[in-house]
A and B are shown apart, each in its own frame.
Chain A
Amino acid sequence: MQWEIVIGLEIHAQLSTQSKIFSGASIAYGAMPNTQACIVDLALPGVLPVLNQGAVERAVKFGLAIGAKINSPSIFARKNYFYPDLPKGYQISQYEFPIVEGGNIRIQTGETEKDIRLTRAHLEEDAGKSLHEDFHGMSGIDLNRAGTPLLEIVSEPDMRSSAEAVAYAKILHALVRWIGICDGNMQEGSFRCDANVSVRPHGSEAFGKRCEIKNLNSFRFLEKAIEFEAERQIEILEDGGSVRQETRLYDANKGETRTMRSKEDANDYRYFPDPDLLPVEIKPDWIARLQETLPELPQARRERYVSDFGLSAYDASVLTGSRELSEYFEATVKQLPAQAKLCANWIMGEISARLNKTDMDIAACPVAPEALAALLSRIDDGTISGKAAKTVFDGLWQGEMDQQVDAIIDAKGLKQISDDSAIEQQVDAALAANAQLVADFRGGKEKAFNALVGKVMKATQGKANPAQVNAALRKKLSGQ
């Protein structure tokens, strides 16, 4: 039987505020245990939550970026369960009237584009951490993370492969960073994925029983976990069994998912509106002000790169993979508007390769977009060859000559010979000195032509414009 995989993702994006969602404690990562847990976070008797405006603004921005409805009033609810890392015995979250409802995101896998619908995105507080190092057989609780603002972004079950799920997660990851609401640091847990996976016979309308896979903290794990889980479910079904709806944990070491001994086993969260928090009103003029702070969004940029610059959809999506990369491209192409493709190729080629090799971020790229543009314009106007440009680029990367492109070209003597008569002279000399090659060529050996080009290039130490050399040689060899 042919099986179809159905995937929905729940993504927790930690919002990049200064302070917690309901208290004035810092959310900075990596502090000593419990040094950032104030009395509100510790749920001392009598303390009360007050909502952080910065968290609301970030959620609204997200809603605007995906074309969703912003609910006003939006309501906070308590989700009741006991766990040592949950100091109040309830998590303040949203149930009815989440701040963001609906919206969608366009993904691309290969050459195919697809819209993924979002169900909702709601604000909630993070829990603390249980540390299981052995404290005389006990666990240690660190509540620094308790109360950190999260946006839980829930998709519809619209994805049909691990590749689509990864594409969606990556687009969302880029988007939250793009609009500046989340730092996206997956190692630190700022962007965490849970995947709901089910399978069904191809062509079937009804959904299969789904399993939720928790805490996938890299795109690779997301992909592997979905593939493993889908395979597992298919095997069960093909053996005549049935899938049990449950929460599973991905074990990255073994590359498999396993049943989680869950705190939620048969839990009843008893959601109800939090009486300590009033309805949140988000007025149209506030939404309008936030709308104005939004930068041009990646989707719009992708479309513009294709329509205005003639880039391929693939190039456009790579260049909008992050706001920094896109800004780099924008700054470069601004200097050289007619050569967008050349700019794109260099950024996706030389620059990306160099950054990868040195494990650097585009923001830290030693070659400024203006310098790159200056270099590319020298290729464009024929001053240097593409090959020589790489040497100049090396110089720029090393910070030579104050990153003055022309100075580097001069200093390294890389200027291309483009003068017709000079090239003709060199061609004549080469023809005269290599009678055998000329004879071979005339005898039908095409290879001999390339050898002649090589002779000219060698004689000019590679500086002759290869296209002109080619043309001149052809003309001489055919014309005589």
Chain B
Amino acid sequence: MTLSTDDVKQIASLAYIKIDEDETKAVLAELSDIFKLIETMQAVDTSGVAPMSHAQDVVQRLREDRVSESDQHELYQSIAPQVEEGLYLVPKVIE
């Protein structure tokens, strides 16, 4: 697989990271090297092997349905970039 600058732009767009035109080339070169390393695993025959998502073979524990949290919005909003009337402010959301 070869990455293109368009791929890099597309990934950056999906990841919501602004990337300048002149950065694109350098990023492409680095990513291409990394993918060369990564692709060495693709030769392995993994037919019949189940993907391993977790380090331990355990099942999800369930939480009792109970309200355990109280209102602390003033504390939590004290570290927010911009709040007003208890709301987090962002540039206008257009739907």
Spell out A's residues near B (CB within 8 Å): 17-19, 23-26, 32-39, 42, 44, 50-56, 73, 82, 84-85, 130-132, 135, 137-143, 249, 260-261, 263, 268, 270, 273, 275, 277-281
Q: Which of A42, A82, A138, A278 contacts B89 (CB 8 A)?
A: A138
How long is the Cα–Cα vector from A140 to B53 in the complex, in angstroms? 37
Q: Which residues of B contact A53 (CB under 8 A)?
A: 62-65
- Contact residues of B: prevailing secondary structure: loop
Chain A residues within an 8 Å CB radius of B89: 135, 138-141
CB atoms of A19 and B65 under 8 A apart:
yes
Cβ of B54 < 8 Å from any Cβ of A? yes
Asked if B92 and A141 sit within 8 Å, CB to CB, the answer is no
Q: Which residues of A contact B72 (CB under 8 A)?
A: 38
Set B14, B84, B95: member contacting A135, Cβ < 8 A:
B84
Give bound CA distance, A52 to B62, whole Å: 6
Interface size class of B (residues with CB under 8 A): 20 to 34
Task: Determine whether the beta carbon of B58 is less than 8 Å from that of A278.
Answer: yes
Contact between chains at B92 and A24 (CB < 8 Å): no
> Could you tell me the distance in whole angstroms from the C-beta of A271 to the nearest C-beta in chain B?
13
Inside 8 A of A277's CB, which chain B residues have their CB? 60
Is the Cβ of B95 less than 8 Å from the Cβ of A25? Answer: no
Q: Is B33 interfacial (CB-CB < 8 Å)?
A: no
Sampled A-B contacts (23; CB under 8 Å): A19-B67, A24-B63, A24-B66, A34-B86, A35-B73, A42-B76, A51-B60, A56-B62, A131-B87, A132-B93, A135-B85, A137-B91, A138-B92, A139-B93, A141-B88, A142-B86, A249-B95, A261-B95, A268-B14, A278-B54, A278-B60, A280-B62, A281-B59
Known contacts: A25-B67, A279-B59. The answer to whether A140 contacts B88 by CB under 8 A is yes
Nearest chain B CB to A258 CB, angstrom units:
11
| Residues on B with beta carbons closer than 8 Å to the beta carbon of A18 | 65-67
Residue B90 at the A interface, CB < 8 A?
A: yes
- Interface residues of chain B, those whose CB is within 8 Å of chain A, are 14, 16, 53-54, 58-69, 71-73, 76-77, 82, 84-95
Enumerate chain B residues within 8 angstroms of A19, measured Cβ to Cβ. 63, 65-69
A67 to B67, CA, bound (A): 31
Please, how many angstroms separate the alpha-carbon atoms of A263 and B94 in the complex? 9
Docked pose: A425 CA to B69 CA in angstroms = 79
Contact A139 B91 (CB under 8 A): yes
**Structural contact, B67 and A261, CB atoms closer than 8 A:** no
Q: Which 7 A-B pairs have the closest CB atoms?
A: A54-B65, A140-B87, A24-B68, A53-B62, A38-B69, A33-B86, A281-B59
The chain A residue sitting closest to B75, CB to CB, is: A39
Contacts of A51 in B (CB 8 A): 60-63
Find out whether the CB atom of B59 lies under 8 angstroms from the CB atom of A34.
no
Q: A54-B65, A140-B87, A142-B87 are in contact. List 18 more A-B contacts (CB 8 A).
A: A18-B67, A19-B67, A19-B68, A35-B73, A38-B69, A51-B63, A52-B62, A52-B65, A73-B59, A132-B93, A135-B89, A139-B92, A139-B93, A141-B87, A249-B95, A263-B95, A268-B14, A279-B60
Bound-state CA distance A419–B87 (Å) is 76
